[in-house]
Structure 1
Amino acid sequence: MPSTDYVDYDLFLDEKFSAVAFANSLVQATNTPTDKDVDLDAPSKRLDYDIEEVDRVINRICGDNYEQLLSSVSNISLAEQCLEPLKKNLDHINYSYSKLEKDVVNPFDRSQDMYGAIKKLHMTTNLLRSLTWYLSIARQLALLINNHNSSDWLSVAAHNVVELRNQVKMNPGLKSLYMIRAHEKVLDDNEATIKRQCQSTFKTFNLLQDFNKLRAACVALYLLEKPSLAATVGNYLKSQVNASANQISKTLGAPLPAFESACADAGDRAQSLQTLTKALDTTADDENDESILEFIRSNLDTPNLVSTYWRDIASTLDTKVRDWAIRNPPLARMMVQNVPTMKEAVKNAVASSGIEDGPELKVMVGSFNSLLR
């Protein structure tokens, strides 16, 4: 075995090599626990041998590869010469960076804490500003709910409700405040109150009622719940049709004044629908160009409320008059002579709603033709 094999190179090259642990192992290998004195000569000789052996190996490798070593030394020297001109530039760059770090980077790092504090203050200020605006609108809404003297209070209150909802939507941080969360229930109750008042306005509406109050109810319901407004107008139209058709049909066989009075009442209901149409012909706010009337026409699939009113009455009366004539042949024959007068009363009723000629008038007059058969 060559002498170099006695040297444990792997041990020396190991990254975890410990000189203390290696020395301790050499001492333990040449001494026993029963020895009175510690013998360091043997470990020292072993270590000297390893050092000499490694030195011989290095000399041999250098001697065998001197050309490669000289070339490497020459390359290193050449590289140092090439780097020398760059040293001043590198020193200048390092100085510039140090100055930049001192004048910009370090102050920037220190300013981050201040920036964070200012950002939090800004968020707090915005939150307080939004809260102030919210409370101002909420106070105005509460006054309107408790004391609604003006005719347009419904539309103003509805705008307030929408504005409060938008405030919370645009500033989600408001929900972190207990005051806002507690007011949500109050806001829901206020909205329900406004809707009930709007429904009541429609149910009790007549020609003597304040027009502005009706318009305000239309705007309010449109802002708060569009489908509800469409359903309310549709139900109102249907109730007017049923009321007129039932009243007129009940006067069949009665004296002519009763029939004429029923037709006049039907004309009044048509005029109330005209007024409702005018009330709907407005916009809910400046940002929305859509007319409320356009929305109603689209949802109810009707171009004109008054026209639909007369057409539906005619359709209902046609069936009712025919059934009545079948059930009461003698009375039907007696009424033949009154048909011209009855048709005249119908024409006057339709004309009172602004329709002097047209398909509405024809179908209304034609609904009594079954009496002539």
Structure 2
Amino acid sequence: MATSEASYIDYDTFLDPDFSAASFANTLVTNTNNINDTQVDLSTPLSRVLFDVQEIDTHIHNLTTKSALPLLEHTQDRSQSSQRILSQVEEQVSSLAEGYQRLEKEVLRKWASAEEARVAAQNSLQTLRLARAVARCISLGRQLESQIAEVTGRVSSSTNTSGAMAAAKDDHRAMVRAATTILMLRQMFSAIGEGEEGQGLDRVKVIRTLRSDLVIPAENTTKARAQQVINRFSVSSLIVDGSSRTSNGTQSPPPATSSSSSSTYAQTEEAKARLFSAITTLYLLSPTPKNGVSAEDFQPELLLSTLQGYIHNSLTSSLSSLARGLATLPTLDRALAEVSGRCQDIAALEALLAGLKRPSHPLLSSSTITTTAQTTEQTSNLLKPLLHVLDTSSLPSYYWRSLASSLPSRVQEIISRGGAAARSLRSGRDRLRNDLRECVLRGSQLPANVAKGRAVSGAPGAGGASVVVGNWEREAAVMVSAVVGALGR
């Protein structure tokens, strides 16, 4: 440090940026003591430090005393400069504050008002959309309620007398309308994602009540009514039996009158219409995959399971009737008539399914693949999925072969019990063979309006009232072998 007076203090050491008090004290102690002495003298280094401090204090006092006026002037100059800088800065800050206030008034406040308006408009839009969705669901619910009343034949108290008379009878076409309404409600209930039509519906209590108290019971009612229609489907009682048994010489009945033919035709058309409505209803109400599927690849599980149940019930009833008839031969003719009648129903079901195209499903997309007309016709009807599930090429063939596979064990039971029933079966083999063959062939007879468009062969003496669909000699041989063949074992 440059000074006007000589000083023994090493100011450069104290002013060094790397100065360390501990290192300086260590150096001072080692310089004032003998390192070989066992005792350390600290009084000398302490006196040295105190003397240095006193010397520095004296030096500072002399400097401030001699340079008091320059120091005061320098301090005054710095204070004045600070005041000038502060005044300039305050002017700039005041200008910035005024600009910010003007900006806040012209922009920020208007933006805040605009943001409030935007939020209010957005909330109002969401409320409007939710209200529209709720109103649509309520409207569909009222529509569904009236359609279910038509399905079940019940009439609400608000309808007038003439309306009550008209709606006293259930309308099978109302099942399809109800199924379509249920699908629309399903679509609304499932579209609850962000930005979708039904967003927020799951949080509305009235919608939850509507779904639990109306939609789900209505869907179950519609399903049950459609399944009931399919399970009760029968055209065998409408067929005019014009076939003659040449083996026992019976004559064919006289031709039916025009009025009875018209009545039979009308009843057959009504049975077809009811079946079509029930099939369409169950097709629409069948669960659809969440990942989406084309209409051509859609498998209507509810419909297929109902049709399978119908065929299984027919097989079970036919097996029981035929087993009772074989055990009690006087009732065999009636049992064979029941068995052939159920086959006629199944053959009619096959003919109707083959001619029924897949209904339009609002939740399924149509395939864009170009196919031939024949392939489209084969894949667009509802018979192919059922045949695929049953692993067969024909429903009557499946019926006869399934029935034949269960008969040998029943015949063996009758033979093993012995008695008059076993002796009658053995003695009447030829008649039993003819009766079984005629039963199979009679089971292929369908009303002409049901078999329209199918491969047919002439039915003897029916006057066009019924036709024979396909060739069933092989199935007749299987049935005969299942019963008559079991008699020889």
TM-score interval, smaller chain: 0.5 to 0.7
Secondary structure of the equivalent of 1:206?
A: coil
1:320 aligns with 2:402: no
1:164 aligns with 2:164: no
1:365 aligns with 2:487: no
What is the alpha-carbon distance in structure 2 between the residues aligned to residue 223 and residue 313 of structure 1? 32
1:118 aligns with 2:179: no
Alignment partner, residue 249 of structure 1:
323
Contact 2:175 2:277 in 1 (8 A): yes
The gaps in structure 2 that reach 5 residues or longer are: 1-8, 19-60, 75-105, 152-169, 192-197, 236-266, 287-299, 367-379, 447-468
Q: Which structure has the highest helix share of the two?
A: 1
1:211 Cα deviation after fit? 2.4
1:108 Cα deviation after fit? 7.7
- List per-residue Cα deviations over 1:122-165 (Å, max 9, x = no partner): 33332233223222211110001123332221222122112101
Secondary structure of the equivalent of 1:220?
A: helix
CA gap 1:235/1:313 in 2 versus in 1, 3 angstroms = same
CA gap 1:147/1:310 in 2 versus in 1, 3 angstroms = same
Alignment of 1:277-316 (within 5 A): 277=350, 278-279=352-353, 281-287=356-362, 288=364, 291-316=381-406
Alignment partner, residue 434 of structure 2:
341
Q: Which amino acid aligns with 2:358?
A: T
What is the alpha-carbon distance in structure 2 between the residues aligned to residue 335 and residue 143 of structure 1? 59
- Decide which of 148, 153, 163 is 1:145's aligned counterpart: 148
Alignment partner, residue 264 of structure 1:
337
Alignment of 1:123-134 (within 5 A): 123-134=126-137
What is the alpha-carbon distance in structure 2 between the residues aligned to residue 361 and residue 105 of structure 1? 93
What is the alpha-carbon distance in structure 2 between the residues aligned to residue 368 and residue 349 of structure 1? 18
The count of corresponding residues between Structure 1 and Structure 2 is 292
Contact 2:189 2:202 in 1 (8 A): yes
- List per-residue Cα deviations over 1:208-246 (Å, max 9, x = no partner): 673222222223233334444333222221111122222
Alignment partner, residue 196 of structure 1:
224
1:233 aligns with 2:302: no
Aligned-residue CA RMSD (Å): 3.9
- Of all paired residues, the percent bearing the same amino acid is 21
Please give the TM-score of this superposition, normalised by the length of structure 1: 0.65
Please give the TM-score of this superposition, normalised by the length of structure 2: 0.51
The gaps in structure 1 that reach 5 residues or longer are: 11-41, 56-102
Contact 2:342 2:443 in 1 (8 A): no
Contact 2:437 2:477 in 1 (8 A): no
What is the alpha-carbon distance in structure 1 between the residues aligned to residue 305 and residue 121 of structure 2? 52
CA gap 1:138/1:271 in 2 versus in 1, 3 angstroms = same
Q: Which amino acid aligns with 2:190?
A: K
What is the alpha-carbon distance in structure 2 between the residues aligned to residue 326 and residue 355 of structure 1? 37
What is the alpha-carbon distance in structure 2 between the residues aligned to residue 110 and residue 5 of structure 1? 68
CA gap 1:336/1:104 in 2 versus in 1, 3 angstroms = same
CA gap 1:9/1:118 in 2 versus in 1, 3 angstroms = farther
What is the alpha-carbon distance in structure 2 between the residues aligned to residue 274 and residue 359 of structure 1? 16
CA gap 1:192/1:299 in 2 versus in 1, 3 angstroms = same
